[in-house]
Amino acid sequence: MISYRNIYLKIFFFATVIFIASSCAKESSRTTGWEYNNSKNGGFQVNTKYGEQPVGPGLKLVEGGTFTMGRTADNPMYDWDNIPRRVTVPSFYIDETEVANVDYVEYLYWLSRVFGTDYPEVYRKALPDTLVWREKLAYNEPLVETYFRHPAYRNYPVVGVSWVQANEYCLWRTDRVNEMLLIREGILDFDPDQRNENNFNTEAYLAGQYEGLVNKPLKDLNPSGTGERRAKLEDGIMVPKYRLPTEAEWEFAALGLVGNTVYERVVERRVYPWNGTIVRSDQKKYYGQFLANFKRGRGDYMGVAGSLNDGADLPAEVASYWPNDYGLYNMAGNVAEWVLDVYRPLTFEDMADYAPFRGNVFTTKVTDEEGFLAPKDSLGRIKYREVTTEESKDRFNYRSANQINYLDGDYQSTINPDWSSVPADSVNTTNMMYEYAKTSLVSDKSRVYKGGSWRDPAYYLSPATRRYLDQNLSTNYIGFRCAMGKVGGAYSTSKGK
């Protein structure tokens, strides 16, 4: 009599063997047929187990898409610098909250520990301007001493930080997160004795100009190598650079249209980061409560005692109120936020419709006479310089390094027809049209900041509003949050897409 049980067991056994064999089979090149990760054939290494980009702490994924960028209401100042236009924003990551005082104090502590002895100016240049709290006809002097460092304000958004300082923070954060990722992978060990140029810098590490305390190096399959190697970009262990979000990214993230679309149609164009045209909650449990921290009217920053409206006179804690549909807090109110872009009033006319941004200055790494990478600088960073016209002469997508004034500020933008016959190299293309303090208040150092703040009326709560300030100045109502590009596809694989 046939034993079906034994047949089933044999079938299961062979299926299991085939599955294990197939899962253990090594991948090979689709174009050459050579096997990856095999020291016997040359040792070309490919991360065949890469899943998804590591997500830095505090970041939220913003799934990109198309949207109508620009104003949603008439500008009371009659600044027609924000005409609506359709653009597409690629997927990216952005901080769940604004950068808080405790985060920036951590940054200053690291700078003091690493550079404080030999390069104290590095620490001093990073200090926020606490004097921004002073008012000529108001008593805010206690805030000068307490707001930034007192534990009561630990989780409040940092202010008094310029656009330049915010960018430096982003670079520092990139290195600290990547160093921690390498430590978690067991490749490096903690090194509390980093000083001056001997500190972990992502680019210096990848370029072989930083060693660190090696714990367990990766295996090198190159038969001509030493058998050990450092992590490479191709391994996918480290994250891309932290940076400020672009104006388009910030506005897109603030609107949170992911919760306001039906079959690729935006049902209702949002005025604020929530549905409706009012600034109070219409939910039964929280009916009438304010959804953001702002100035309701002249002399009214928080309401009447015993019945405070938004509950905060100055900035509130970074995780206050309700998050939008991306899970982001305070994308309206609390503090306005720096973004990456250079301000131009005619941005809506000349911006690209995919990943729009104005402010590019193309650079390249500094090399020596033999073409090798130059040694890192005294702070441990790789040196960069602007690309030259000679290096760009055969390119069709750009011909010079500084593109800040392209189509809006350079000689090509002027209405004078005589410029068309003048060679580009013989013309000073910087601020041809925007002569600061002479014909305009706009310069190449004018940076956009977005969103309303604790001291702004409700109009500025709309993510579409845009204002600008010199990149070296700071205020008591502008903070920032960091962003990061998403590598690979638009979707997160953790969502099953």
pTM equals: 0.90
Cβ-based neighbours of 404, under 8 Å, separated by 6 or more:
342, 358, 359, 360, 361, 444
* CA 36 – CA 45 distance, rounded (Å): 6
pLDDT of residue 451: 93
* CA 217 – CA 230 distance, rounded (Å): 6
End-to-end CA distance of the chain: 50
pLDDT of residue 409: 82
pLDDT of residue 225: 86
Q: Which two tokens stand for residue 138?
A: 């108001």
pLDDT of residue 474: 98
Residue bearing tokens 């990766």: 218
Residue 214, number of CB atoms within 10 A of its CB: 13
Contacts 24+ apart (CB under 8 A), 185-190: 185/231, 185/237, 186/215, 186/216, 187/214, 187/215, 187/216, 187/217, 187/218, 187/230, 187/231, 187/237, 188/212, 188/213, 188/214, 188/215, 189/213, 189/214, 189/215
pLDDT of residue 7: 57
Q: Quick one: which of 155, 58, 96, 157 has its CA closest to 328?
A: 96
Q: Do strands 92-95 and 218-219 pair parallel, antiparallel, or not at all (unpaired)?
A: unpaired
HSE toward the beta carbon, residue 178, CA cutoff 13 A = 26
Q: Which two tokens stand for residue 333?
A: 């109110």
* CA 132 – CA 479 distance, rounded (Å): 12
pLDDT of residue 377: 96
C-alpha distance from residue 44 to each of 35, 177, 222, 262 (Å): 8, 28, 7, 47
Q: Quick one: which of 93, 101, 123, 96 has its CA closest to 110?
A: 123
Q: Which residues pair with 440 in a beta bridge?
A: 436
Beta strands in 359-497 (DSSP E): 363-365, 384-386, 446-450, 466-470, 478-479, 483-485
Query: What does the chain come to in residues?
Result: 497
* CA 77 – CA 129 distance, rounded (Å): 29
User: Using N-to-C axis directions, what is the helix angle for 163-184 and 101-115, rounded to 10°?
Assistant: 80
Cβ-based neighbours of 45, under 8 Å, separated by 6 or more:
36, 37, 221, 234
CB 224 within 8 A of CB 199: no
Q: What is the mean pLDDT of each run of 10 residues along the chain (497 residues)?
A: 56 52 69 92 90 91 92 79 92 97 98 97 98 96 97 98 98 98 96 96 96 94 92 95 98 89 77 86 75 89 81 92 94 97 90 95 95 95 95 91 89 55 47 73 94 94 95 98 93 57
Phi, psi of 240 (to 5 degrees): -65, 180
* CA 210 – CA 114 distance, rounded (Å): 15
Q: Do strands 228-229 and 218-219 pair parallel, antiparallel, or not at all (unpaired)?
A: antiparallel
* CA 194 – CA 212 distance, rounded (Å): 9
Q: Which two tokens stand for residue 254?
A: 């603030």
